[in-house]
Structure 1
Amino acid sequence: MAVNAEAHGDGLPNERPDPITTLRGWRRFVEAVPPHFELLPEAEWAALSEAVRPAYNKARFDYHCGRVVLATPTIQEIEEQVGLSQLNHHDSIARRGLVVSGPPFTGKSTGLTQLGRAYELWVRQRYPSQDRIPVVYVSTPPQWSPRNLAAEVARFLGLSPINPRASFTNFVDAVGQALTEARCDLVLVDEIHNLYLPTAAGEYPSDQLKYLTERLPATFVYAGINLEQSGLFTGVRGTQTAGRFVFVNTGPIPYGPEWEGLVATLEAGLRLHCHEGGTLTGLDRYLHERTHGMIGNLSHLILAGALAAIDDGSEAITRQLLETIPLN
């Protein structure tokens, strides 16, 4: 068996990984190797002692919890927009950006991070001898302002604290200089729907976001819930801001061949000793009804089922087991 995880003798990880909203955490995410695990032959598994079995099961827990990226058409569409960054290199005034919008659990954050990862790997391959920070990834907590957003970009870059009394324009100029020195091309902003909108139409944040995208030398990619309906991109000023962005919409996946293929991919990745192949594909309609076609719910349901099957010793995912797992 093999897993990509370092652990103490007690089975606990050596350290809690840094979040990907930090430079160290982001680089670790970009460089991560897909998890790999091979089941022991049945005779060896059955002969495992009680002292060794918990470590074997823990390794399978780690494998199943490894980030599995399903290549949905939406994620592929998002990744195809990477060319926007190259176009913006030749247009310093009307830079264009990308907005990924849709309901919860429809793959927005996954698409956003995969776009950033693919771009950074491309940059590393093209400029192997240059020390760059080609991608910045930040997530927006509730009630944030565009100034807080700029500060978070600065923190990701390791910029020294900026005078809190500095004007917004001076603050942004300092962050812009840091982005230039880091040779950053993409700024990924997740959960942008959490941005504080003091007015119904969101004019003030819209103005500041427009200023950010114009003054910071990078391509901005925003992801959030139903952003077309938010004050950031509606009203006179919001519409002007929206005009400089390409919108990619995520949503539930309809029942059909694409859904069946996703279920089959997840089932093929299971590492359970008694699970019969084809069980989940035979339940694909039930899984669609249960998850409402939401890819995030599907991944969670099957992952939770795998962990439960290891924990209770059944080593198989059944409809009966899935019924015990709550979903949002």
Structure 2
Amino acid sequence: MSREELIRAFGSGVAEAVTQPIDPPLLTTREGWDLAASRRLAPPARADWAPKGTKVGPRDPRLVYHAEMLPVVTPALWRGLLDARRRLRKNRFHSVGRATDMIIDGDRGTGKSTLLVQIGRGYQGLIESDLGPDPNRIPVIHITVPPERESNLHWSLPFAEFLGLNHTLNPHDRNRRTADMTEPVAHVMRQARTRLVLIDGINRIEDNEIAAAFSYFESLQDRTNVTFVFCGTGAREIIHEARYDKRRKNLPDVVKGKTYFSDLPMLWAGVIPYGEAWHSVVRGFEEDLCLYDHKPESLLKLSKYLHQRTGGYIASLNDLICQAAQETIETCTETGTEAITKQLLDDIRIGRGDSR
């Protein structure tokens, strides 16, 4: 999995590379998802950098860019995308029974949501490259678990919101009552040839809500033949409980009396151990920095220190480097230098037991 495969433009409708917008797209709407899925990620062009030493505004292109930067190929991201591509390639032409779903699990801050989005982005790119652009096609839906989950009505709303369907019984009613949108959602998904649904935050489902939630997913799957990707810390146990309802008699005979792992493909996002994989990740961040005085491999020389500070969590590393890059850009008028130093990194707090 190369860097170019992660950041390239998908589909023939994208003409040029763009940097992160001032207002980040909301991935739980179709417009926001399509924007995030179709743009080619790129750092700001050198010609757009403010002259060194000049005061920058809060919307300076480099400040905006260093708030997120580009996705770095971690071991979990590389392996997860490989496994997902294989599974989705099979599911795409599968017609008998439900498609096999996937699980993304791992500790907080290990890149689960990034993997989820990249899976959807890659699949949408595959469909658009294969079939050509079509404004009526919606190959991927991305939702997060809703705050209310007691009924089919509540579960149907994030789908309706993504698809832009009006879910109020009377738009002029001040109480704004909503309707169960399951059937309209399923109809639109069939017409739009939706094949992949990404659900983030599955860990927010309470124990007493699991059975009803997954009964809803299966019902929707029966109507649309989509593949679900469930993402969240503890997702493996949640989905296992949903499929077998905590009752040992429901387990397959071959695993009765054993600790049952998962009968669905699980993509695991974990901390990155110190070693070559960690060095590769740090090098990826370093290559993407847009700083006037950055010296090649100066960040790589701090690789061990960065691992000690972050514990190998990609989210913590991203926080540390992004904040340091923004800080040195903003304070260059005072310091005269625009580079990330250990002294600067020492002054930034990121959590994960970092008590300095």
TM bucket, shorter chain: 0.7 to 0.9
Q: Does 1:184 align with 2:191?
A: no
Aligned to 2:207: 197
Query: What is the Cα deviation at residue 6 of structure 1?
Result: 9.7
Aligned to 1:135: 140
Query: What is the Cα deviation at residue 105 of structure 1?
Result: 0.8
Query: What is the Cα deviation at residue 141 of structure 1?
Result: 4.2
Query: What is the Cα deviation at residue 113 of structure 1?
Result: 0.5
Q: Does 1:208 align with 2:210?
A: no
Query: What is the Cα deviation at residue 38 of structure 1?
Result: 4.5
**Preserved contact between residue 145 and residue 195 of structure 1 (Cα < 8 Å):** no
Aligned to 2:7: none
Query: What is the Cα deviation at residue 143 of structure 1?
Result: 5.0
User: Structure 2: which amino acid aligns with 1:75?
Assistant: L
Q: Structure 2: which 5+ residue stretches go unaligned?
A: 1-16, 170-176, 252-260, 352-356
Q: Structure 1: which 5+ residue stretches go unaligned?
A: 8-12
Query: What is the Cα deviation at residue 146 of structure 1?
Result: 6.7
Q: Secondary structure at the match of 1:225?
A: coil
User: Structure 1: which amino acid aligns with 2:37?
Assistant: V
TM, length-normalised to structure 1: 0.82
Task: Tell me: CA distance 1:5–1:35, structure 2 relative to 1, closer, same or farther (3 Å).
Answer: closer
Q: Distance in 1 between matches of 2:290 and 2:120?
A: 29
Structure 1 stretch displaced more, 53-62 or 316-325: 53-62
Query: What is the Cα deviation at residue 67 of structure 1?
Result: 4.2
Q: Does 1:150 align with 2:156?
A: yes
Aligned to 1:280: 299
Q: Distance in 1 between matches of 2:183 and 2:89?
A: 22
Q: Distance in 2 between matches of 1:260 and 1:69?
A: 15
Matched ranges for 1:1-328 at <5 A: 4=18, 13=22, 16-39=23-46, 45=51, 53-54=55-56, 58-80=60-82, 81-88=84-91, 89-130=93-134, 131-145=136-150, 147=152, 148-161=154-167, 171-198=181-208, 202-230=210-238, 232-234=239-241, 236-237=244-245, 245-313=264-332, 314-328=337-351
**Preserved contact between residue 96 and residue 219 of structure 1 (Cα < 8 Å):** yes
Query: What is the Cα deviation at residue 183 of structure 1?
Result: 0.6
TM, length-normalised to structure 2: 0.76
Count of paired positions: 309
Partner deviation per Cα, 1:240-263 (whole Å, 9 max, x = no partner): 799663111111011000100110
Partner deviation per Cα, 1:79-99 (whole Å, 9 max, x = no partner): 221343343342342321111
Structure 1 stretch displaced more, 153-162 or 20-29: 153-162
